[in-house]
């Protein structure tokens, strides 16, 4: 079920009414309703894969209990690795089986040997990368004795399948989300209003920014041969805003919906395109995944401690794994490697933590130096997104070679000028509002809070009108494929 669909517009109020007006006095029933609603939400896409979520839930619930009882170190490790291998085994089969098989065949063909093996027509279960990492965090934390295993199977099932963030995150830690299912929840009007505001802004990002940008990004990426360098650069910039509007829009809707039910999810995006260097960008982009890799992979590997070789090795591992997490394609791996190359000079020169403070909030405009740094970081990001968006590595290099050709100095070949200029205008308005709200959790959190009520409501109605009138052709959320 998509957030920007009629189905969800009907589903959400029904669950909300049952949750607050029918089951509000019984926490167990509230959690049970969340489980039922979450399985319905997921099954709306494909009910066959509900068994995977249920199996993963039961495995980690059981392993958690056994870890609590077991004191023998070897047996505890065995339990941990059984959970990791089962969960990653499912992920590996559905997501990477064909990739490894095809590369295996290609490698043997290179040495003159022919292998006859057929790839499988495998459907990737939506959200498997997200809920797999979420449930793994529970088992790892229990193993490290940072978290007590839960005895409440319903609460644990609700934690794994919580519908607002089930298919595209944020990837919640058990230590943050699971305890919220134990606590009695009372309706908080002000929290619900903030949630609705965040949902509205998420819908604007998705339907107005991402879906409109997608039309032009698809046009240039799907017809690369037909366009010159300046047009293709424009296409890459459209994709840069598409993926941000799409994914951060989804996160906003997920977090806002959770607030309606009394839950707090972690911030997943913190205005990453205003970053002054790549290290800051990765502290602001897909925060739940970046911090997951930091805590469960980078730090156990040694982090930034040790010699230069150790730092280089760990940086490449973390970015390559991050790229591979996104998909079974060499384009994602190169995208990860490119970001490692961007990041390494900052790490080796001890400048990776130069911009820990928030983007200047007291000044209306950035300084000249900040503006240059933000612009350079943005352009590096645009360049890396070309690999992320391309069909394959050859396509990416063709796209880049055409940008760095003489055709870059020609006027962009713009068709449907009016529509494209409208989209560019909407992007500019979007960037201005994001800049104005950059010190908050999301741009609209306090935007216009000092205005007269009538002006505030006029602004919200205007946003609704823009969503309905200027919304682009419906596109599936990009991160559903991951």
* CA–CA separation, 164 and 173 (whole Å): 15
Residues 106 and 229 both lie in one domain: no
185, 206, 222 — which closes off a domain? Answer: 185
**pLDDT score recorded for residue 361:** 61
Residues 118-161 have pLDDT tens digits of 666 667 788 888 999 999 999 999 999 999 999 999 999 999 99
Sequence-distant (≥ 6) Cβ neighbours of residue 425 within 8 angstroms: none
The domain total for the chain is 2
pLDDT digits (tens, 9 = 90+) for 232-291: 999 999 999 999 999 999 999 999 999 999 999 999 999 999 999 999 999 999 999 999
From 138, 170, 185, give the residue that closes a domain: 185
Residue 203 lies in a domain: yes
Task: Give the pLDDT confidence of 182-198 residue by residue, as tens digits.
Answer: 999 999 999 999 999 99
Q: Annotate 174-239 with three-state secondary structure.
A: HHHHHHHHCCCCCCCHHHHHHHHHHHHHHHHHHHHHHHHHHHHHHHHHHCHHHCCHHHHHHHHHHH
In this structure, the answer to whether residues 180 and 197 fall within a common structural domain is no
Q: Is residue 335 a part of any domain in this protein?
A: no
Same domain, 86 and 156: yes
Residue 260's pLDDT is what?
Answer: 96
Marked catalytic residue, from 286, 326, 395, 452 = 326
Same domain, 143 and 220: no
**Domain edge (last residue) among 185, 210, 230:** 185
* Domain limits for position 366: 191-276+355-480
Q: Is residue 347 part of a domain?
A: no
Q: Is 467 inside any structural domain?
A: yes
In this prediction, residue 415 carries a pLDDT of 62
Please count the residues of the chain.
482
Is there a domain that residue 60 lies in?
A: yes
326 is catalytic: yes
Answer yes or no: is 148 within a domain: yes
Looking at residue 101, what is its pLDDT? 75
Is 317 domain-assigned? no
Of 23-27, 72-76, 103-107, the one with minimum mean pLDDT is 103-107
Residue 154 sits in the same domain as residue 50: yes
Same-domain check for residues 122 and 11 = yes
- The pTM score is 0.91
Q: Tell me, yes or no, whether 170 and 212 share the same domain.
A: no
Give every CB contact of residue 57 below 8 A, 6+ residues apart in sequence.
135, 156, 157, 160, 161
pLDDT at 344 over 70: yes
Residues 154 and 23 in one domain: yes
Reported as a single tens digit per residue, the pLDDT across 348-392 is 988 888 888 777 666 788 889 999 999 999 999 999 999 999 999
Is 440 within the bounds of a domain?
Answer: yes
Q: Do 264 and 404 belong to one domain?
A: yes
* Domain shared by 169 and 210, yes or no: no
């Amino acid at each position: 079920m998509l957030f920007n669909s009629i189905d969800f517009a009907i589903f959400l109020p029904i669950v909300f009414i049952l949750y607050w007006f029918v089951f509000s006095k019984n926490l167990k029933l509230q959690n049970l309703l969340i489980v039922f609603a979450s399985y319905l939400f997921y099954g709306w896409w494909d009910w066959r894969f509900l068994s995977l979520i249920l199996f993963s839930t039961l495995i980690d619930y059981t392993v958690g209990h056994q870890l609590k009882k077991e004191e023998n170190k070897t047996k505890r490790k065995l339990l941990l690795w059984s959970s990791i291998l089962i969960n990653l085994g499912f992920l590996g089969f559905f997501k990477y089986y064909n990739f490894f098989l095809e590369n295996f065949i290609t490698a043997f063909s290179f040495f003159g040997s022919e292998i006859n093996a057929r790839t499988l027509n495998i459907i990737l279960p939506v959200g498997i990368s997200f809920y797999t990492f979420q449930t793994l965090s529970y088992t790892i934390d229990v193993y490290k004795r940072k978290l007590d295993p839960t005895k409440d199977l319903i609460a644990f099932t609700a934690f794994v399948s919580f519908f607002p963030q089930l298919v595209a995150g944020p990837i919640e830690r058990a230590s943050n989300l699971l305890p919220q299912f134990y606590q009695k929840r009372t309706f908080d009007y002000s929290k619900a209003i903030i949630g609705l505001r965040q949902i509205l802004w998420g819908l604007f990002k998705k339907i107005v920014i991402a879906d409109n940008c997608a039309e032009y990004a698809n046009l240039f990426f799907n017809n690369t041969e037909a366009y010159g360098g300046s047009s293709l650069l424009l296409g890459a910039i459209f994709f840069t805003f598409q993926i941000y509007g799409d994914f951060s829009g989804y996160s906003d809707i997920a977090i806002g919906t959770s607030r309606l039910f009394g839950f707090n999810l972690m911030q997943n995006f913190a205005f990453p395109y205003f970053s002054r260097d790549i290290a800051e960008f990765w502290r602001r982009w897909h925060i739940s995944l970046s911090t997951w890799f930091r805590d469960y992979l980078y730090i156990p590997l040694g982090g930034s401690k040790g010699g230069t070789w150790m730092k280089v090795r760990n940086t490449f591992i973390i970015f390559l794994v991050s790229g591979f997490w996104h998909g079974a394609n060499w384009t994602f791996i190169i995208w990860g490697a490119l970001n490692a190359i961007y990041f390494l000079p900052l790490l080796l020169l001890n400048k990776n933590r130069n911009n820990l403070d928030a983007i200047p909030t007291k000044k209306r405009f950035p300084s000249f130096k900040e503006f240059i740094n933000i612009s350079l970081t943005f352009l590096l990001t645009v360049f890396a997104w070309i690999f992320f968006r391309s069909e394959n590595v050859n396509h990416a290099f063709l796209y880049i070679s055409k940008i760095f050709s003489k055709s870059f100095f020609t006027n962009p070949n713009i068709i449907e000028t009016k529509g494209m200029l409208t989209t560019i205008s909407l992007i500019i308005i979007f960037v201005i509002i994001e800049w104005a709200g950059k010190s908050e959790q999301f741009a609209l959190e306090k935007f216009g809070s000092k205005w007269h009520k009538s002006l505030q409501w006029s602004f919200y109605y205007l946003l609704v009108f823009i969503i309905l009138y200027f919304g682009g052709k419906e596109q599936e959320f990009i991160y559903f494929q991951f």
